Chain A
Amino acid sequence: MTDVIQAPTKPSAARRMLRTIAHWPPAFWGLIAVLLLAAFTQPHFLSVPFLMILLRQAAPLGIVALGQTFTIANRSLDLSVGAVIMLVNILVSDRIFLGFPAVIPISVALLAGVAVGLINGLLITVLRASAVVVTLGTASVVTGIGYLISGGAPGNAMSDTIKYIGRGRIELFPVSGLFWIASAIIAWIILRKLVFGRFIMAAGDNPSAAHYSGIPVTRTLLVSHIMSGVFAALGGLILSGLIGVGSLGLGADYVLSSIAAVILGGAVFGGGAGGAVGTVLGTMLLIMILNLLTVFGIDEAGKLVVQGLVIAVAAIIYQKSAAR
């Protein structure tokens, strides 16, 4: 019984460093690799103007993925983000808002996101139905509502403010990029600096243990889904501004991309890893890869393949390392 009186032993500085580095998201290493590849093969890729274009393109996905981070870290999933984007796009381009200040359609859009998130969260926590099925179901319903509102022909009466948010620049810097940065800071504060973030981490890692520690597991999950809905709506708003018109079927590919970005950012369905920074890096990596593919002449189809491979490989690597 020599272990009775023993202070915690101090690990060596090197070990501690290694442990910290091991916690960095896969996206960090991926980004370094992609940047190196770009530097040697496509140097213009790293020019400031081009990076700004990338930033503008990445911002909507980046924001949607930040929302998806909440659900995935909470051991859930939101497959309705694409439908929310589509609904927001149809709402803000609808003629009904002609003549109103931009704040009205913007608020309506964000409220729609809250509503979808709330409904998802309630169905998942109250009915205890699988998050995958619930959000697939609400995605279908929300898409139908979007079609109904548009009557099959979406409007193009979008306020200039929204277009400015999506396309505008301050000097070279895109306005949408500012929104992305602001969203990331907000998400980082929520996940790292608020009690809510600790609840997500605990409930995502072991819901049962969280319950017996007194953590309000269902309320946490509910709020996570609301966050996902809001961020998806904001992403949809910016994407709408970028495109400038209403368009049926917008956002469908954001479901998969947002999940890919979050997984690249290190979060794999609970487990306490990943977070706002990881997701931002994940989004940047994903957008870099997709644009590099375009440069190398690989089309949309190839991008789907790469995106799927990224998710599969990241998940397999995670699983292998967790099994150790």
Chain B
Amino acid sequence: MSDSTLTSSATSRLSLRDRFLLDARWYRQRGAALSALTFAVIFVVLAIALPGSFLTGRNFGNLLGQLPPLFIAGIGQTLVLLGGGFDLSVGSVISLTSAILALPLHWSATVPMALGAAIAVGLVNGWGIVKIGVHPIIMTLATSSIVQGIALTLLPVPGGIAPAPLVAMVRGDVLGLPLGALWVLVIGALAIGLTHGTGFGRALYAVGANPAAARLSGLPEARIRISTYVISASSAAVAGMYLTARLASSDPNVGSALGLDSVLAAALGGTLLSGGIGGPIGTVFGVGIIGLLNNGMNLAGISPFYQHIVKGTMLIVSVSLFRRKEVGL
């Protein structure tokens, strides 16, 4: 009932600070701000603690080469979460993409095939969840298993040679920036443009907050929710292509860790799992936080075993910041 204090007469006396805090954009992006702050703090701490190894061009080059797959997959996951869903199949789709790229076919066949397969997975997920009403976790857990199985059937053991044009697109520099940074820039700009500059983006926030109300407002709620799963699977495919190209060969298990990490990146970036709050800007920082922590721990010589512990703890902390009403799933 605290909102009854904000009667019209009170609104006219609002301070600049209150106006800012009442703003809808701020309301949706406050998690991203917290995330940016966290990112900055970790950056400064690392810069002070490890000046010799952290603040080097080579290290940043490494970081910018490593992070794009997580970033791309995390962006897709963010859109699904914004629409009130959940996609556990991201990791498997990355693996499937890698496996398809190892097929003994020309890249002009395998690349569209990989993308087509991903879109199919996204459509199946969306159909089961939106049209049939299966719980997103169950549906994507099931498709995740199926897709992983298909990946292992196509390519039982790591191998194959990544398509040369793809390899060329991830190695080397442009204007002094590693190409990975370009992928991040392009996909980040696309995602931010899509969510903040289009009707689809606004509709997505509406659908995530309250699907029934969005439908009453005449929005194609089902189509929007299904499309988030398609976007998520497609971005997983792109992440898989990048990863395969960077490794220069295929691995049918390459995505296994990225499913969880993509949720972590989105959650650390302030996107709520209940939908409608957050967005890709926050995910940029979420990915950055994960990257800096991994990087810092590597540089400091901390056992990689601790990374599991840190990641898990971060995931729990980041989703616990905003309490939900319901208990359970």
- Report if A and B touch in the complex (beta carbons < 8 A): yes
**Chain A interface residues toward B at CB < 8 A:** 74-77, 123-125, 127-134, 136-145, 147-148, 152, 207, 217-218, 221, 256, 259, 263, 268-269, 299-312, 315-316, 319-320, 323
Docked complex Cα distance between A259 and B329 (Å): 14
Residues of B within 8 A of A305 (CB): 145-146, 149-150, 153
- 7 contacting pairs across A/B (C-beta < 8 A): A75-B328, A132-B329, A140-B260, A140-B312, A268-B138, A301-B148, A304-B152
| A137 B145 Cβ-Cβ under 8 A | no
Interface check B46, CB cutoff 8 A = no
| Residue from A124, A145, A315 in contact with B309 in the complex, judged by beta carbons closer than 8 Å | A145
> B86 → chain A, closest Cβ, in Å?
7
Docked complex Cα distance between A129 and B153 (Å): 36
Residues of A within 8 A of B325 (CB): 128
Docked complex Cα distance between A125 and B324 (Å): 10
Given contacts A130-B319, A305-B146, contact A77 B137 (CB under 8 A): yes
> B306 → chain A, closest Cβ, in Å?
6
| B128 A312 Cβ-Cβ under 8 A | yes
Residues of B within 8 A of A139 (CB): 312
Docked complex Cα distance between A124 and B320 (Å): 9
> A87 → chain B, closest Cβ, in Å?
12
Given contacts A77-B329, A136-B260, A302-B153, contact A259 B141 (CB under 8 A): yes
| Residue from B133, B143, B327 in contact with A221 in the complex, judged by beta carbons closer than 8 Å | B327
Given contacts A138-B312, A144-B307, A148-B306, contact A129 B319 (CB under 8 A): yes
Residues of A within 8 A of B329 (CB): 75-77, 130-132, 269
Residues of B within 8 A of A259 (CB): 138, 141
Interface size range on B against A: 35 or more
| A129 B324 Cβ-Cβ under 8 A | yes
Docked complex Cα distance between A305 and B144 (Å): 9
Interface check B135, CB cutoff 8 A = yes
| B327 A319 Cβ-Cβ under 8 A | no
Residues of A within 8 A of B148 (CB): 301, 304, 308
> A264 → chain B, closest Cβ, in Å?
12
Residues of B within 8 A of A207 (CB): 326-328
Docked complex Cα distance between A51 and B228 (Å): 46
Among residues of A, the one whose C-beta sits closest to the C-beta of B256 is A252
Docked complex Cα distance between A128 and B273 (Å): 12
Docked complex Cα distance between A207 and B326 (Å): 8
**Chain B interface residues toward A at CB < 8 A:** 86, 128, 132-135, 137-139, 141-153, 156, 260, 263, 267, 273, 303, 305-313, 315-316, 319-320, 323-329
> A156 → chain B, closest Cβ, in Å?
20
Residues of A within 8 A of B152 (CB): 300-301, 304
Q: 4 other contacts beyond A256-B141, A269-B135, A315-B134, with CB at 8 A cut-off?
A: A138-B316, A302-B149, A308-B141, A311-B138
| B305 A152 Cβ-Cβ under 8 A | yes
| Residue from A74, A218, A269, A320 in contact with B132 in the complex, judged by beta carbons closer than 8 Å | A320
Docked complex Cα distance between A268 and B141 (Å): 14
Residues of B within 8 A of A299 (CB): 153, 156
Given contacts A305-B146, A308-B145, A315-B142, contact A124 B315 (CB under 8 A): no
Residues of B within 8 A of A320 (CB): 132
Residues of B within 8 A of A256 (CB): 141, 145
> B268 → chain A, closest Cβ, in Å?
12
Residues of A within 8 A of B309 (CB): 140-141, 144-145, 148
Given contacts A77-B329, A131-B328, A148-B303, contact A316 B132 (CB under 8 A): yes
Docked complex Cα distance between A183 and B318 (Å): 36
Among residues of A, the one whose C-beta sits closest to the C-beta of B153 is A301
Residues of B within 8 A of A136 (CB): 260, 263, 312, 315
Given contacts A136-B260, A137-B313, contact A304 B137 (CB under 8 A): no
| A148 B324 Cβ-Cβ under 8 A | no
